[in-house]
Amino acid sequence: MRAIVLALMAVLATTAPSLAAEGGDHGKKTDAQKQKDKANENAHVTSDSPTYLGFEPIYTSIIEADSANGLLMIGFGIDVPDATLRAEVDNLRPKLRDLYVRSMMFYTSANVRSWRQPDAVVIADKLQRITDAMLKRKGAKVLLAQVAIRLNH
């Protein structure tokens, strides 16, 4: 139970600044805030391709023996050649990110250990299944840029 609480605290710590930035306007954003959000989304882009949509890296806690021993970082984006589907993916970014983070939290808690390399193929497959299920069709390819572990000790 403590491990789950620690993992949730780590996720909240990474998402709280963006939630706080929204303020008390119940999600209504000015054009300047929307442009800033778009710039932040593109800050982690690893391709110049117009079909590539970069996502902010996902960080999840590696919990062992009831303590956080490190972080798993997953850098990725999605290549969507079809313009209509790309617009749909872009609109679904917040929902997709939420599903990605939740999935990677569970994956990390059950499978990632500080003494073993994470399985990038399994991670990519999980992110791809989430993408295909959310879009209810294929056509958006998840591309991993980086999978890394940072240890606390």
pTM over 0.85: no
Beta-carbon count within 10 A of 74 CB: 25
Q: Where are the beta strands (DSSP E) in the chain?
A: 52-54, 58-64, 67-79, 141-151
- Strand 58-64 with 67-79, pairing: antiparallel
Identify the three-state secondary structure at position 22: coil
Does 25 have pLDDT greater than 90?
no
d(CA 82, CA 60) in angstroms, rounded, equals: 31
Residue 60 structural domain: 2-151
Look up residue 24 and give its two tokens: 């008390």
Instruction: Give pairs for 123-130: CB < 8 Å, separation 24+.
Output: 123/74, 123/147, 124/76, 127/74, 127/76, 127/100, 127/103, 130/96, 130/99, 130/100, 130/103
The string of pLDDT tens digits covering residues 46-63 is 567 899 999 999 999 999
pLDDT at residue number 65: 87
